[in-house]
Structure 1
Amino acid sequence: MAPSPTQSQSAVPQASGPTALSRMRLGPEETDQNPLMIQFFTWDALRDDMSWWQHLEQELPELSRMGFTQVWIPPPNKAAAKTGRGYDAYDLWDLGEFDQKGSVNTRWGSREELLRACETSKRVKVDVIIDAVLNHKLGGDRVETFPAVPVDPQNRLRDAGKVRDIEGWTAFDFPGRGGKASIRSRYALSESLEGVDWDHKTKQKAIYRIAGKGHRGWSRNVDAENGNYDYLLGVDIDHRHPEVQEDLLHWGDWILKTTGAAGFRLDAVKHMDYKFVLQFISSTRRNAGDPRLFCVSEYWTGNVKSILPYIRAFKGETAFFDVPLHMHLCEASRRRERYDLRDILSGTLARLRPGDAVTFVDNHDTVEGMDLESWVEENFKIQAYALILLRPEGYPCVFYGDLYPNAKCYNANTAANLRRLIEARRMYAYGPVQDYNTSKNCVGFVRGGTARRPGCVVLLSNRDESGPLHTIRMNVGPAKAGTVYRSYMTQGGEVQIDAQGWGEFSCFANAVQVWVPAG
């Protein structure tokens, strides 16, 4: 039967060139179950009754049962502050083993607790993904004096003053290690660092490019925002330096072997020399003997045109978080029924490069009060999760803050509905997708299923809750003629499928409904 006038046909576009997700391990490979990642922390995550690693170990069996195949853990390294999250990276080689920066444990717990959690992850077949913070360091052990020049923060290629001697916390001696852990005993100025944001001599905050003999300035192989976005924060590392490369490449091998992790989430890649990042990925894959080692990169921008050159440069070696889609989800939640749902995938990696996209609704950086605040409001949270969990484009990542009770961003109703969607993904969201974009405030799609897995029908609405019931006529295929579909998010609804495979599917206003084969 020809498509009805209100139906639009779509297919997931084929990206040109190699794609990352098809080349990487997304979880246990002996199953045809949909893979799924969880970010298992929030910015403020802490437990009063146990360490975070113990909490992870406790939850892993249930995460596996729910259908999660990967768990992205926070940076496991020693931070500059006692309760630092690890993004304030002090010592990558200290996993909670050495008495440094006020404690032996990291914010998340001890090395032994981390390794026990990693052992449990193997047993329950959930892969651990390490958050690798390789761009910068903080918490230097002493100051050094060196020549540097302040630069314009809006254009780091333009000097904002003359070269002068400053004092920076650039010496990293790691005295608590006792000489263990790294092939390098310390980081120090030499030629291995590029910039700082504090002159201890004058107590002045600015972005300083380290100058003098052996220093080559900012790398050109970084994002062009602010003229050159090599510098982000803290003490900026020069990834072109041979000793830096040796240390970080060795760390990549060591952290995988130590934890048994299956890959990396790379922090702040737009600020690092991309040639080194490529070298890091290929080296760790090769040395691990695992060509399918997982890797996803954080490149924070809502402009998909800025990410595409990076995707082309990396040639399928890493996936990228779909920040443009996240921004669309945030905008939709704020504009409510004024937002046209038919446009929500336009200009996203999910639409343009689905084979390279790791999709997400929110993360630790988007929570209210954070620098990258862009929280998807509760009125649209479940619609957003339905889009990333039940459609085939990209690879979804669920945020701990949306699923588990926490002080900052938990909503019990959202969490309950999210658990239903996760279950629907595991059981029903398979096969090709057919879109029915009937109106700006209600869209639907059909997942056709496979020979082994059933499909489903999904509707989502952003219309004011006072509006009437939405109804969309959709086709589930002639093979389903005469069957009955039941409502999944609420109980009691049924749809009879006619002889040609058509059914009248409904959804409440400002809600999500999933319809699945009965029986």
Structure 2
Amino acid sequence: MTATSASQRPQLHKRISSGVLSKLVSWLKPGRGSARADTGSLSWMSLGPSTNSGNPTMLQFFTWDSLHPHVSWWKHFEAEVPSLADMGITQVWLPPPNKATHRNGQGYDAYDLWDLGEFEQKGTRDTRWGSKDELLSAIATAKSHGIEVLIDAVLNHKMGGDRVETFRAVPVDPENRTKDLGPEKEVQGWTAFDFTGRFGKYSGLRWSHDHFTGLDWDHQTRQHGVYRIVSKRRKGWSRNVDKELGNYDYLLGVDIDHSHPEVRKDMLTWGSWVLEQTGGSGFRLDAIKHIDRKFLLEWITTIRQQPGRSQAFMVAEYWSANVKLVLLYLRAFNGQTSFFDVPLHFNLHNASKPNSRFDLRTIIDGSVLKYRPYDAVTFVDNHDTQIGQSLESWVNASFKLQAYALILLRGEGHPCVFYGDLYPNRECYDEEIARRLRRLLRVRKESAYGALDDYLEREHCIGFVRRGDASHSGCVVVLSRKSDGVSGQAPYTIRMNVGKNHVNALYRGIYEPSEPVTTSAEGWGAFSCPPGSLQVWVPE
């Protein structure tokens, strides 16, 4: 979950000059940073159990409105674990497990991080997703099947305070948080968090307005806005945040002050505690552009200092289509976390638009994958990009499978598959896409290995070859987008070489209809797919 402004919308995605980018990535040269920064986070973080020798794959196991009609979400996940393991999933990103503001809150409306569905608070013991015991059971089952679990950490804000407090604050311009709209004044805010249902278990901290930097509701005047809380100890917003809207410290709810000693102690302790309690293996870090970078880096480092946590997985959500901005943040974290490749997502989204003229030969340009492949967690869609959500940028069905082939079969980055594309749901399910996506996952697990050769033939049709290795066959991929709305076009054909290990070999497509291809004595073959489609071949 994150916020966006008009300047971030997909249609305004801009390419960055190669000169600017070359300066940004010059720090990756040996000796310019830490060893971890030089090699990239994916080269040393755990992407799944060490016993797994195949291609690691992440799955986001929820949509925005996920609810199972018969069992809790945690029980649903546990029941699916054997099937996920069979698909080749090695890592699952679960929704925030913490108590929300109400029974059906997704957890991004974070009330109490220390309540994982254990205490009677906000009118419920369970969270939207189930009870703490069910969560622990599901994670234990996942680990027994070779799947690690990521906890979604919502560290930026709190919501659903227990009491109103009166204090001083300054109204600021929502479009420029560095500009005051008036003098300091008295306001009332829902900033008292007593957690009376938890009785001080795990953490004794009771939060007040002193622990926050801002809010968006003055209960005294019943007015919305952005208010900067005045404190003798603190001087304004954090400076170590994104510069969008002047200063993007504030996102929503009541914004946490990560410089407060009590807050720091509580949150630094929680990070290690929640992994120990649940059996989780790492984190998805929500909305990091709004969180003090220095604190978050300390938070990550503190977790990694715990026994057995040195390779704990971290992936950060920094929502911007501008790769320069993402790379700046990636540099600030010095190789300690991977980043979701939002710029690549927007390339896929733009290529999928009706009558798109997107040049597929440049599909990876301007992405994290292009410049820092060992820091890129690639994805096609997620809960925020769904139709109707605040960051709507859905990859249309006409290009969905092509997009998945690009992130699953090329062997670059760490791909994350979306539950909404794989499982029946009320929001975004397409049965045909789900069926074909499962076949792509099978190819990733069994065949997509070895050297990569690109064949960037046309702006509307490209191909690539994975040559295989000693234990895996490799595969051949051709994908295309629809060209200018023209129908009835002949299939696109690309002549590709599969390597010396597959000369005179018979390749069969995984999707019907498909004609088999026999390679020549030199390894060449003519591989075709209809316009606006995808075909993948594996040798017999």
Match of 1:413 in 2: 432
Give identity over the alignment, percent: 57
Match of 2:51 in 1: 30
- The CA deviation at 1:491 is 5.9
Greater shift, 478-487 or 42-51, is seen at 478-487
SS in 1 for 2:164: strand
Q: Which residues of 2 match residues 257-268 of structure 1 at below 5 A?
A: 257-268=276-287
For 1:497 and 1:342, the matched residues in 2 are separated by 25
Residue deviations 1:74-94, cap 9 Å, x none?
000000122100000000000
Out of 75, 78, 89, the residue aligned to residue 54 of structure 1 is 75
Q: Quick one: which amino acid aligns to residue 465 of structure 2? A: V
Greater shift, 493-502 or 482-491, is seen at 482-491
Q: Quick one: which amino acid aligns to residue 495 of structure 1? A: V
Would you say the 8 A contact 2:52–2:146 is kept in 1? no
For 1:465 and 1:107, the matched residues in 2 are separated by 46
Match of 1:317 in 2: 336
SS in 1 for 2:179: strand
Q: Which residues of 2 match residues 46-195 of structure 1 at below 5 A?
A: 46-182=67-203, 184-190=204-210, 192-195=211-214
Calculate the aligned-residue CA RMSD, in Å: 1.3
- TM (norm. structure 2) is 0.92
For 2:191 and 2:287, the matched residues in 1 are separated by 20
- The CA deviation at 1:367 is 0.5
For 1:121 and 1:212, the matched residues in 2 are separated by 46
Q: Is 2:417 the counterpart of 1:395? A: no
Q: Is 2:529 the counterpart of 1:503? A: no
Q: Is 2:460 the counterpart of 1:441? A: yes
**Structure 1 residues 53 and 398, CA gap change in structure 2 (3 angstroms):** same
For 2:388 and 2:444, the matched residues in 1 are separated by 31
Match of 1:456 in 2: 475
Would you say the 8 A contact 2:212–2:255 is kept in 1? yes
- The CA deviation at 1:181 is 2.1
Would you say the 8 A contact 1:145–1:165 is kept in 2? yes
Would you say the 8 A contact 2:205–2:262 is kept in 1? no
Would you say the 8 A contact 2:352–2:398 is kept in 1? yes
- The CA deviation at 1:288 is 4.0
The runs of 5 or more residues in structure 2 that have no matched partner are 1-24, 30-37
Residue deviations 1:221-250, cap 9 Å, x none?
111101110100000001111111110111
Out of 211, 221, 227, the residue aligned to residue 246 of structure 2 is 227
For 1:162 and 1:407, the matched residues in 2 are separated by 48
Q: Quick one: which amino acid aligns to residue 75 of structure 1? A: P
Q: Quick one: which amino acid aligns to residue 209 of structure 1? A: R
- The CA deviation at 1:492 is 5.4
Q: Quick one: which amino acid aligns to residue 342 of structure 1? A: R
Q: Is 2:491 the counterpart of 1:472? A: no
Q: Which residues of 2 match residues 249-398 of structure 1 at below 5 A?
A: 249-398=268-417
Residue deviations 1:85-126, cap 9 Å, x none?
000000000011111111110000011111110110111110
Residue deviations 1:261-289, cap 9 Å, x none?
11000000010001111111111111143
- The CA deviation at 1:493 is 2.4
For 2:428 and 2:330, the matched residues in 1 are separated by 32
Q: Quick one: which amino acid aligns to residue 328 of structure 2? A: P
SS in 2 for 1:473: strand
Would you say the 8 A contact 2:151–2:284 is kept in 1? yes
For 1:160 and 1:119, the matched residues in 2 are separated by 52
**Structure 1 residues 355 and 465, CA gap change in structure 2 (3 angstroms):** farther
SS in 1 for 2:353: helix
Would you say the 8 A contact 1:253–1:288 is kept in 2? no
- The CA deviation at 1:185 is 3.1
For 1:478 and 1:496, the matched residues in 2 are separated by 14
For 1:517 and 1:511, the matched residues in 2 are separated by 20
- The CA deviation at 1:478 is 2.2
Residue deviations 1:368-412, cap 9 Å, x none?
111111111111111111111111221000000000000010000
SS in 2 for 1:364: coil
SS in 2 for 1:65: helix
- The CA deviation at 1:489 is 2.1
Would you say the 8 A contact 2:452–2:467 is kept in 1? yes
Would you say the 8 A contact 2:162–2:193 is kept in 1? yes
Q: Which residues of 2 match residues 413-432 of structure 1 at below 5 A?
A: 413-432=432-451
Alignment: residue pair count: 504
Match of 2:41 in 1: 20
Would you say the 8 A contact 1:42–1:364 is kept in 2? yes
Q: Which residues of 2 match residues 480-495 of structure 1 at below 5 A?
A: 480-490=502-512, 493-495=515-517
- TM (norm. structure 1) is 0.95
Q: Quick one: which amino acid aligns to residue 182 of structure 2? A: G
SS in 2 for 1:277: helix
The runs of 5 or more residues in structure 1 that have no matched partner are 1-12
For 2:515 and 2:196, the matched residues in 1 are separated by 66
- The CA deviation at 1:467 is 1.3
Q: Quick one: which amino acid aligns to residue 44 of structure 1? A: D
Would you say the 8 A contact 1:354–1:394 is kept in 2? yes
For 2:519 and 2:69, the matched residues in 1 are separated by 52
**Structure 1 residues 212 and 279, CA gap change in structure 2 (3 angstroms):** closer
